[in-house]
Amino acid sequence: MNVSKVLDAKGLACPMPIVKTKKAIKDVESGEVLEIHATDQGAKSDLTAWAKSGGHELLQHEEDNGVFKFWIQKG
Amino acid sequence: MSETKKTNIILFSGDYDKAMAAYIIANGAAAYDHEVTIFHTFWGLNALRKDEQVTVKKNFLEKMFGRMMPRGADKMGISKMNYAGFGPKMIKNVMKKHNAMPLPDLIDMAQEQDVNLVACTMTMDLLGLQKDELLDEIEYAGVAAYLGDAEDGNVNLFI
């Protein structure tokens, strides 16, 4: 996958992962992919809902050793 | 994307934990690109107080109120297990451990994200709080301003 930007939101608690993601998505162009790393347990539900509401697409997510990784394509 | 959605929160409570909830929702809503407004009324006004002492002219009762109420967000008590100020110390310790943002930081973040912070002028008069004692760059309004925002709001909360 062609990732334009990686956001490290590890160790951050609610609402910071979503606040940082919102800031980071401004730096990528429509159609480009933002990769996010988070450790907040609620991140999956939060980012899924946020992406849907904002018209972005959550392409893929995975958990790797307690770190949740997300790939969001900007709408 | 459709037109901008609105989130309106009334912060009535002067409890640290409840104000935290309000500001977390406000910051989240701002990240959702909502136009966000927090109306501070009654004890919630204390979240907007500057933490330093500001010399303003007040009558006796107003001075008493000023002295008894928390001067700023960081001095607010918690709604449960306050234990005369020991509770907030404990919870701030736990928050640090879990990397949760303290209330004053959440307020800064909200201002940075262009959340409208509004102070209710009627209750400011009741509690004897003056503009000079509150944070800069906030707005002043009454019930009609709130209703104007609320009637086409998508999220409306009273905390």
Mean of pLDDT over chain B: 95
The one-letter amino acid at A5: K
Domain extents in chain A: 3-73
Would the pLDDT of B3 be above 90?
Answer: no
Among A13, A19, A75, beta carbon nearest to B31: A19
User: Domain A3-73 is of which CATH architecture?
Assistant: 2-Layer Sandwich (3.30)
**A-B Cβ pairs (cutoff 8 Å, strict):** 35
Please check whether residue B1 touches A, CB under 8 A: yes
C-alpha distance from A14 to closest chain B C-alpha (Å) = 7
| Tens digit of each residue's pLDDT (9 = 90 or more) over A9-34 | 999 999 999 999 999 999 999 999 99
**Whole-number pLDDT of residue B152:** 87
Where in the sequence numbering do the catalytic residues of A fall?
14
Distance CA B159, CA B145 (A): 18
**Whole-number pLDDT of residue B2:** 60
CATH class of B6-158: alpha beta
Would the pLDDT of B80 be above 80?
Answer: yes
Q: If you average pLDDT over residues B47-53, what whole number do you get?
A: 95
**Whole-number pLDDT of residue B31:** 96
* DSSP annotation string for A14-69: TTHHHHHHHHHHTTS-TT-EEEEEE--TTHHHHHHHHHHHHT-EEEEEEEETTEEE
Q: In the structure, what pLDDT confidence band is assigned to residue A4 with cuts at 50, 70 and 90?
A: very high
- Exposure string of B118-133, with b = 16+ CB inside 10 Å and e = fewer, is bbbeebbeebbbeeeb
C-alpha distance from A24 to closest chain B C-alpha (Å) = 11
Among A11, A21, A22, beta carbon nearest to B99: A11
